Amino acid sequence: MRRKIQVHQLGEEARKCDAKLRVIANGDIDVNVVRAERCDALSVAKTYGLKQHMYSMEKVEAVEAARLKSSDPHRWRTKAARPPAKGKIKTVTSDIYANVFISKHQAEPLPKRLKVVETAQMGTLSTAKVQLSKLKQLTANPLVRQVALGQGLRNPNPVISTGNFSDPGPMVREVKHANLHKNGKGVLVGIIDVQGFDFAHPDFVVNGETRFEAIWDMGAEVDRTSPKDYGRVISRVQMNKALAANVGAPATQLEPQSQMDFGSHGTHVASIAAGNVGIARDSMIAGVLVSLGPEDGDRRKSFYDSTRIAHAVDWLMKLGEDLSIPVSINISLGTNGHAHDSSAPINRWIDAWLATPGRSVCVAAGNAGQEKAETPDDVGFVMGRIHTSGKIPAAGLNLDIDWTVAGSDGQDYSENELEIWFSAQDKIGVSVRDPAGRTYGPIEPLEFIENQRLADGTFLSLYNDLYHEANGANYIGIFLSPNFKAKKPIGIAAGQWVVRLHGRDIRDGRFDGWIERDDPSPLPPEPEQPKRWRFPSFFSERSNVDCSSISTLACGNRVVAVANLDKARECINVTSSQGPTREGANKPDIAAPGTDIVAANGFSSPADAWVGMTGTSMASPFVCGTVALMLATRPDLTAAQILGIIQRSATPLVGKSFVWENDAGFGQIDPAGCVLEAQRVNLPRKDKTR
Question: Quick check: 168 and 599 in contact, CB under 8 A?
Answer: yes
Q: Is the pLDDT of residue 297 over 70?
A: no
Q: Is the pLDDT of residue 75 over 90?
A: no
Q: What is the pTM of this model?
A: 0.89
Rounded distance between C-alpha atoms, residue 660 and residue 482, angstroms: 42
Mean pLDDT over 664-668 rounds to 98
Q: Is the pLDDT of residue 79 over 50?
A: no
Task: Give me the torsion for CA of 35, 36, 40, 43, rounded to 10°.
Answer: 160
Rounded distance between C-alpha atoms, residue 548 and residue 416, angstroms: 19
Question: Quick check: 315 and 288 in contact, CB under 8 A?
Answer: yes
User: Over the stretch 465-494, which tens digit does the pLDDT of each residue have?
Assistant: 999 999 999 999 999 998 877 777 888 999
Rounded distance between C-alpha atoms, residue 531 and residue 17, angstroms: 36
Interacting residues of 321 by C-beta distance below 8 A, sequence separation 6+: none
Angle at 451 between CA 417 and CA 114, to 5 degrees: 90
Separation in Å, CA 597 to CA 64, 403, 594: 44, 35, 6
Q: Residues of the chain with pLDDT > 70: what percent? A: 84
Rounded distance between C-alpha atoms, residue 428 and residue 357, angstroms: 43
Rounded distance between C-alpha atoms, residue 270 and residue 153, angstroms: 19
Amino acid identity, residue 354?
L
The SS3 call for residue 9 is strand
Rounded distance between C-alpha atoms, residue 653 and residue 650, angstroms: 9
Q: Is the pLDDT of residue 51 over 90?
A: no
The DSSP H or E segment spanning 270 is helix 265-274
Pairing of strands 188-193, 327-331: parallel
User: Over the stretch 573-602, which tens digit does the pLDDT of each residue have?
Assistant: 999 999 999 999 999 999 999 999 999 999
Interacting residues of 397 by C-beta distance below 8 A, sequence separation 6+: 503, 506
Average of per-residue pLDDT values in the chain: 86
Q: Is the pLDDT of residue 91 over 80?
A: no
Mean pLDDT over 260-288 rounds to 97
User: Over the stretch 184-229, which tens digit does the pLDDT of each residue have?
Assistant: 999 999 999 999 999 999 999 999 999 999 999 999 999 999 999 9
CA 560, chain centre distance (Å):
16
Residue 16 phi/psi, 5-degree rounding, is -75, -10
Interacting residues of 294 by C-beta distance below 8 A, sequence separation 6+: 219, 220, 221, 258
Task: Give me the torsion for CA of 132, 135, 137, 141, rounded to 10°.
Answer: 160
Rounded distance between C-alpha atoms, residue 12 and residue 6, angstroms: 19
Q: Which residues of 191-214 are buried (b: 16+ CB within 10 A; e: fewer)?
A: bbbbbbbbbbbebbbeeeebbbbb
Question: Quick check: 633 and 180 in contact, CB under 8 A?
Answer: yes
Rounded distance between C-alpha atoms, residue 354 and residue 517, angstroms: 29
The DSSP-derived string for 622-649 is HHHHHHHHHHHH-TT--HHHHHHHHHHH
Q: What is the pLDDT of residue 573?
A: 96
**pLDDT interval class at 332 (50, 70, 90):** very high
Q: What is the pLDDT of residue 21?
A: 82
Report the candidate in 130, 250, 258, 128 with the shortest Cα–Cα distance to residue 199.
Answer: 250
Q: What is the pLDDT of residue 309?
A: 96
Interacting residues of 31 by C-beta distance below 8 A, sequence separation 6+: 481, 483, 484, 485
The SS3 call for residue 313 is helix
Q: Which of 48-52, 453-457, 477-481, 624-628 has the lowest mean pLDDT?
A: 48-52
Rounded distance between C-alpha atoms, residue 546 and residue 30, angstroms: 39
The SS3 call for residue 308 is helix
Rounded to the nearest 10 degrees, what angle do helices 345-353 and 306-323 cross at?
A: 10
Question: Quick check: 266 and 196 in contact, CB under 8 A?
Answer: yes
Q: Is the pLDDT of residue 516 over 90?
A: no
Mean pLDDT over 258-268 rounds to 96
Rounded distance between C-alpha atoms, residue 438 and residue 326, angstroms: 58
Mean pLDDT over 154-173 rounds to 87
Q: What is the pLDDT of residue 20?
A: 82
